């Protein structure tokens, strides 16, 4: 299938999250036989005007939200909510961060409306490493926020006599590695430069998280606990709420993964750490008396609480930098998405980017799911 009329909506289902592309992407698109339709006001939160977009691609049109969703393909970094996705035409395309594994409602809609979907977050190389991701940008935004909270809440922060702080990371992938680097940068800037004790960063594996006695010792000495995991089964916790109780009372939990609770499926989908709640762009620091704890699904233990730093859109903390980064990745895939019939994509192609894009398709997700269920 070929996609010519492209819709670019403004994301408004994540408070404060700015995910519109800059004119730079549309300069790239101007080399294709496409007709972009942008939602009225697109880019204004980044400081761009309609004319800024028209200057690089005069064929751009601006329209209301509903018309944008009725194009051949929707292109957007953050996936719109289900109510908006219902506006998509049957058989149209969707290129977005869809998160098939943890969004069963979205997958159902894609199947029902026969959407030609490509999930940016599912695009991987031949070794299964994500190709469409800003690991460091995500990690740094979270670590920077947690570091600020540490600085604000610890009376001994500026003391040369205290012990080094300890950050414990669960996860060993790209985001976890980005956290190690981020904490080094932040520690050098804030602590090393002022000759203060720094941060010891440690990564723990399942051999520790499943060993109660050693886990207790690790958590007892942790100042910042970071979830940078990707679980094979999002219905199971990595740490129970009882285990979170091993943390010091003044410890900070950094929720980089920002998974969510979903009671629409059985068993329900849960966060990696039992009992914490997910934050937003506008509310990234969640205190132990936050009223939203009352909204946690029944049966989820919230007894042990610590200050939690969480956001469902970490890259949006520095939106312009993040969006430009993603635009640089996108240009590798535009020929495949817009210059040829996407039904001919082949996972065995000699083209690296074609293999990656195919693995992000709903078709590949269905093939993989069927194989796992055999």
Same domain, 88 and 115: yes
Residue 319 covered by a domain: no
Q: Which domain holds residue 192?
A: 135-314
- Residue 178 resides in a domain: yes
Shared domain for 237 and 259, answered yes or no, is: yes
Query: Nearest Cα to 53, choosing from 85, 74, 30?
Result: 30
- Answer whether residue 112 is part of any domain: yes
248 with 357, same domain: the answer is: no
Is the residue at 287 inside a domain? yes
Q: Residues 115, 226: one domain?
A: no
302 with 190, same domain: the answer is: yes
Does residue 11 sit in the same domain as residue 112? yes
Q: Which of 290, 314, 338 is the last residue of a domain?
A: 314
- At 314 the pLDDT is 87
Same domain, 156 and 286: yes
Residue 296 lies in a domain: yes
270 shares a domain with 192: yes
The span from the CA of 32 to the CA of 113, in Å, is 27
Q: CA 174 → CA 13, 178, 213, 257, 328, distances in Å?
A: 27, 6, 28, 12, 19
Specify the CATH number for the domain of residue 335: 3.40.50.720
97/197 same-domain check = no
Contacts of 57 (CB under 8 A, 6+ apart): 23, 26, 27, 29, 30, 36
Overall number of domains in the chain: 2
In a domain, 236, yes or no: yes
| Residues 168 and 224: beta-carbon distance below 8 Å | yes
Query: Are residues 96 and 203 both part of a single domain?
Result: no
Both 217 and 140 in one domain: the answer is yes
Compute mean pLDDT per 10 residues along the chain, 374 residues long, and list them.
Answer: 95 74 97 97 96 98 98 95 96 96 93 98 95 92 97 96 97 94 95 96 94 97 96 92 98 93 91 94 93 95 98 85 94 95 96 98 96 88
Rounded to whole angstroms, the Cα distance separating 282 from 324 reads 22
Rounded to whole angstroms, the maximal C-alpha distance in the chain is: 65
């Amino acid at each position: 299938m070929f996609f010519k009329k492209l819709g670019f909506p403004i994301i408004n289902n994540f408070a404060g999250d700015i995910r519109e592309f800059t004119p730079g992407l549309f300069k790239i698109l101007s080399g294709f036989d496409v007709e972009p339709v942008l939602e009225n006001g697109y880019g204004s939160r980044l400081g761009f005007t309609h004319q800024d977009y028209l200057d690089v691609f005069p064929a751009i049109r601006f329209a209301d939200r509903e018309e944008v969703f009725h194009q051949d393909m929707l292109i957007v970094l953050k996936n719109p909510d289900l109510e908006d996705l219902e506006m998509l035409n049957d058989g149209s395309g969707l290129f977005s961060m869809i998160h098939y594994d943890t969004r069963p409602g979205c997958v159902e809609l894609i199947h029902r409306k026969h959407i030609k979907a490509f999930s940016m977050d599912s695009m991987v190389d031949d070794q299964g490493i994500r190709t469409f991701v800003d690991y460091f940008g995500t990690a740094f935004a979270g670590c920077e926020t947690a570091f600020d909270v540490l600085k604000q809440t610890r009376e001994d922060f500026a003391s040369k006599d205290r012990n080094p702080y300890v950050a414990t990371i669960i996860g060993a992938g790209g985001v976890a590695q980005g956290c190690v680097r981020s904490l080094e940068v932040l520690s050098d800037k804030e602590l090393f430069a002022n000759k203060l004790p720094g941060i010891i960063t440690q990564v723990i594996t399942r051999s520790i998280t499943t060993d109660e006695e050693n886990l207790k010792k690790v958590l007892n000495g942790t100042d910042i606990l970071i979830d940078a995991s990707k679980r094979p089964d999002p219905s199971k916790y990595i740490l129970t709420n009882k285990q979170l109780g091993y943390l010091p009372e003044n410890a900070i939990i950094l929720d980089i993964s920002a998974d969510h609770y979903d009671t629409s499926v059985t068993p329900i989908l849960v966060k990696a750490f039992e009992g914490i709640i997910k934050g937003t762009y506008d509310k990234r620091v969640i205190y132990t008396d936050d009223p939203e704890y009352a909204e946690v699904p029944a049966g989820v233990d919230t007894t042990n609480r610590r200050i939690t730093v969480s956001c469902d859109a970490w890259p949006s903390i520095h939106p312009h930098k993040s969006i430009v980064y993603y635009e640089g990745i996108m240009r590798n895939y535009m020929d495949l998405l817009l210059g040829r019939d996407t039904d001919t994509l082949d996972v065995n192609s000699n083209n690296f980017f074609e293999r990656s894009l195919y693995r992000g398709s709903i078709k590949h997700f269905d093939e993989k799911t069927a194989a796992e269920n055999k």
